[in-house]
Structure 1
Amino acid sequence: MSGGRWRLWLTLALTVASLLLFFLFERFEPVGEPWLRPAAVTLADGWDVQADGTGEVSLGSEGARLRADRPQDGPLLRRRFVLPPGTEFVRVRAELAVEAVRRGPLPWQGVRIVLVQLDDQGRHQWDLPHLADVANGSQHGRSVTQEFWISRAARALELRAELRQATGEFLVRELWLEPVQEVEAFGTVRHMLFLCWVSLWLWLVVPLMATAPRRLRHVLAMLVAMTILAGTLTPHSARQSAKQLLIELERTVIGERDAGPEAVPGKPVAPAEVVAGAWPVAQKAMHFLLFVVLALAALWARPDDPWLALVGYLALFAAICEVLQLFALDRTPLLSEAGINLAGVAVGTGCMAWLRRRRLA
């Protein structure tokens, strides 16, 4: 068997092993006492109930019932918890009954169980993973279990049950919040698998870097691929720091502009939320563009290889980038992100085919 096939089979084997580890084995175990037990959802003490004229929240012996008549930011039930020092992971559990809920056009709208982290100034860290569950339709028995990595900057947590841009009603029978820790054996296997991924990556890179005829082209393709991998494994907390720097820069620039002689009296200052709103779109656009560039660079570096095989390898790499997010503490692989990666590969392949056809014409 050739070296290329060995690499392919080992890549597939590591992918399967990673998926089996994360989806078939229990990763976390409770540590300490739960912060919120199921019975607490029926008590008004400690819970903040919000409902406008379009909905209502009622607490009774069966749980908390939330109803919305119009698709707006409807009723919510929330409670805050101060984080003990050293908390690294928490688990949210919920038992719900969803009744005829119709959501808006966006996937995050509907019945939501949310756990959002707050910093030392009480600001919600929406950039970090916060959705424990999103549901719609009718489901009389829905169980939710989700673990969250806690940022070092977090000082408190806010647990929410809400109807967001949706109509209908749902019942929160139970809510459970508890600190957890990673099972020691799971962590050992996780580190071993990650070391295998790094070794496989070096085995893939070294032969391409040493190929004499088109070494510079291979180096370019590898640099793009390494940039993608670095972004894949970069924690949300690091990305959040970069975003905060952009927000501070925006505030500085706007402050200098409005303080200058060209400032217009009474003109409102542009809010820093411009960066916050554009950040997710910019991230997805960057994913797409990087995979377009990767496809162009790879096909340019190896013009004599079968295109079907190269495109297959690129598609596999796009999928593996999402699988590798399992190894990051605060990242979650998403099918939508994998679709963006694959779309970038497809567009890059199409652009290279068009360029070759035009050169041959």
Structure 2
Amino acid sequence: MLLKTFGWSFAITAAGLALAGILWGWQGLAIVAILSVLEISLSFDNAVINAGILRKLNPFWQKMFLTVGILIAVFGMRLVFPVVIVAITAKLGPIEAVKVAIQDHDRYEQLVTSAHPAIAAFGGMFLLMIFLDFIFEDRDIKWLAWLEKPLARLGKLDTLSTVVSLVVLLIAATTVATSVPVHGGSGTVDKSATVLLAGIGGLVTYLIVGGISGFFEDRLEDEEDEESEEAAPAAKGGASLVGLAGKAAFFMFLYLEVIDASFSFDGVIGAFAITNDIFMMALGLGIGAMYIRSLTVFLVRKGTLDDYVYLEHGAHYAIGALAVILLITIKHEINEVVTGLVGVVLIGLSFLSSVVRNRRETEPGDGSEAKAEVSSGV
């Protein structure tokens, strides 16, 4: 099971490190290895969130997540995306932007870093919406009941997540965004308008992609309920169900990719603390991204989220923390170690809480019935 799931990750790691050693020597190999560890530490909560969504998809879309999805993650977000950001912010043509990325590493780093306020606002708002929609939903299983119960009651207001996000965005735009330090120079610059525009873009992206995927998922569940109630479903009904399942899966896959993109923002920016070589970054972060995706599939196939029911809660709290950290980094620099540790600690605590819950559930009798309840997430 372990080798089957992580086999490609191990192979790509060996090939990637060997390539780094050949191209850049021992120093390049070490940098690529460090970047891989950085990406894994920053994105472990991403794997848990992805697993919660991926388990709803069939094996075909799970394979798409590991094949087409990893190409988007590595080449799209770790290689192409920073170059696109440079082209837009510096008003360069695509070819010129590529030349800057390859030939002028210092200028490339400066241009990408100067675009950080917009990137942080977009990703921060998208991730904040994920956290708020989770925490405002009334769930049967609650980790921090003293906090989640009152928030679930407040969550009965349908637009509360959007309102809270907009308030947070306004606060960020009128505080940290008003005096952003100039990269590589002295003085500050006002990025309020940029942060507002990018933050609204992140919010709109979440509402569109998340809304469409949720709509098709609900429609699919309704169709399945109707099919189970009918003794002999009509042929037309069966055909629509297949088509609807395909649409639902596609938009959920798209939603997964947007989530992964939002999680990758801090890794791409943080990588500049280690190197400004675009190819080293793409290789190191790509190796880390491959492990995160393999870990996602592993969690789905092992049913880990069903066995340890608070893991998903811990991951969403980590997402909320990351969203706030991203908004703070518009002005203030926060070490990547701190960002990574926050997520690891929250997920670790949720895992330990799940273990304690499982032991408590098995204490009354022989444990067979309780184990069944725990594994089913009841």
Q: Does TM, normalized by the shorter one, top 0.5? A: no
The answer to which structure has the higher helix fraction is 2
**Greater relative CO (CA pairs within 8 A, separation 6+):** 2
Q: Radius of gyration: which is bigger?
A: 1
Report the TM range for the smaller structure's normalisation. Answer: under 0.3
TM-score when scaled to structure 2?
0.23
